[in-house]
Homo-oligomer: A and B are copies of this chain.
């Protein structure tokens, strides 16, 4: 009898989509205006969902205050008001597409949770584009 509990969070960041090993022309062709060498940015909206049994004593799947603190440490402190390409180690060699960012966030939060809990991450890059990853 599993329940999914979800918490919304957000961070603002600059990024650029490109590959160093591609020509400017190919980067332009594939990534279009997202390849702007001066960067652009987003208000990333994040939903972190944890799936597990309800603890009979507390009535919680996970204490939201604990989940909120994990999100703050692993995502907000690491990504907020940052340039993803230049300042976030995970994207030094990984293209910061929404798909890659959501996998990175999953991999940062998962080890902080009790292994019995499943995890699902949804990331809105804009109000109209979003991605979901659950391992």
Instruction: Give chain A's interface residues, CB within 8 Å of chain B.
Output: 1-10, 12-15, 17, 19, 30-34, 36, 38-43, 45, 49, 54, 57-61, 63-65, 80-83, 86-87, 94-100, 102-103, 126-133, 135
Contact = CB atoms under 8 A, between A and B. Distances in A.
A34 B41 CA distance: 13
Closest 4 CB pairs of A and B: A41-B41, A38-B83, A59-B97, A33-B81
Contacts of A49: 132
Nearest to A97: B59
B3 A59 contact: no
Contacts of A64: 129
The winner among A4, A95, A135 for most chain B CB atoms within 10 A is A4
A95 B58 contact: yes
Contacts of A5: 98-99, 129-131
A60 B65 CA distance: 33
Contact of A6 (B2, B17, B130): B130
Nearest to A130: B6
B40 A41 contact: yes
A99 B61 contact: yes
Contacts of A132: 3-4, 6, 49
